[in-house]
Amino acid sequence: VEIGANDGVRGDPIHRYVRDHGWSGIMIEPLPDVFDVLKENYSSYPAVKLLNVAIGKTDGKQTIYTVQIDPEEFSWASQFSSFRRDIVESQARHIPDVASRIRESTIDSITFQTLIEKHADGREVDVLQIDTEGFGLEILKMIDFNVIKPSMINFEVANMSREEKNEATRLLLEQGCRITMGNLDGIAYRLSA
Question: How far is Cα 110 from Cα 97, in angstroms, rounded to an integer?
Answer: 32
- Mean pLDDT is lowest, of 43-57, 69-83, 140-154, for 69-83
pLDDT in tens, 11-60: 899 999 999 999 999 999 999 989 999 999 999 999 999 999 999 999 99
Predicted structure pTM score: 0.91
Of 116, 86, 82, 102, nearest in space to 4 by CA: 82
Residue 96 has pLDDT above 70, yes or no: yes
Residues 6 or more apart from 138 whose CB is under 8 A from it? Answer: 57
> Which pLDDT value is given to residue 74?
58
Question: How far is Cα 110 from Cα 59, in angstroms, rounded to an integer?
Answer: 4
> Which pLDDT value is given to residue 72?
66
Residue 151 carries which side chain, given as an amino acid letter?
A: S
- In angstroms, the Cα distances linking 66 to 44, 60, 75, 93, 165 are 28, 19, 12, 16, 24
> Which pLDDT value is given to residue 93?
81
Q: Quick one: average pLDDT of 121-133?
A: 93
Residue 193 has pLDDT above 60, yes or no: no
What DSSP line would sit under 127-145, residue for residue?
EEEE--SS-HHHHHHH--T
> Which pLDDT value is given to residue 90?
87
> Which pLDDT value is given to residue 75?
60
Question: How far is Cα 98 from Cα 66, in angstroms, rounded to an integer?
Answer: 10
CA 126 to chain centre: 16
Of 180, 7, 22, nearest in space to 188 by CA: 180
- Phi and psi at residue 34, to the nearest 5°: -70, -35
Residue ranges of alpha helices (H) inside the chain are 15-21, 32-41, 85-89, 98-101, 112-119, 136-142, 162-174
